[in-house]
Amino acid sequence: MDEEDFAVSYNDVDFCLKLREKGYLIVYNPYIELIHYESKTRGYEITPEKQERFDKEANNFKIKWKNVLEKGDIYSNINFSKERANCTIETKK
């Protein structure tokens, strides 16, 4: 994992994209249950310092994976909105 550019945020997604870049596939198994307690150990980005770090890592991610982000998620349902993360059905065509 890239501890320099993604010390806290985006490191998992960066890692998965690096695997894809090397030709590996990430396999989904619906029978496995994982529990991820988001922000449990590090807390939320509510201080100016944490928000600044998060913004920097978000920018690093956008720069590093610009080409991938511009192509879009090949597994995303084309009927879902690209503007929201809640799987809203796209109404404008």
Q: Where are the domains of the chain?
A: 1-93
Q: What is the pLDDT of residues 2-29, one digit of tens each?
A: 989 998 889 999 999 999 999 999 888 9
The residue type found at 21 is E
The residue type found at 9 is S
Q: Is the pLDDT of residue 90 over 80?
A: no
Confidence of residue 63 (pLDDT cuts 50, 70, 90): very high
Q: Is the pLDDT of residue 54 over 80?
A: yes
Q: Show the CA angle centred on residue 35, arms to residues 54 and 72, nearest 5°.
A: 50
DSSP-derived letter for residue 17 is: H
68, 17 contact by CB (below 8 A):
yes
Whether the full predicted model's pTM is greater than 0.85, yes or no, is no
Instruction: State the average pLDDT over residues 35-56.
Output: 83
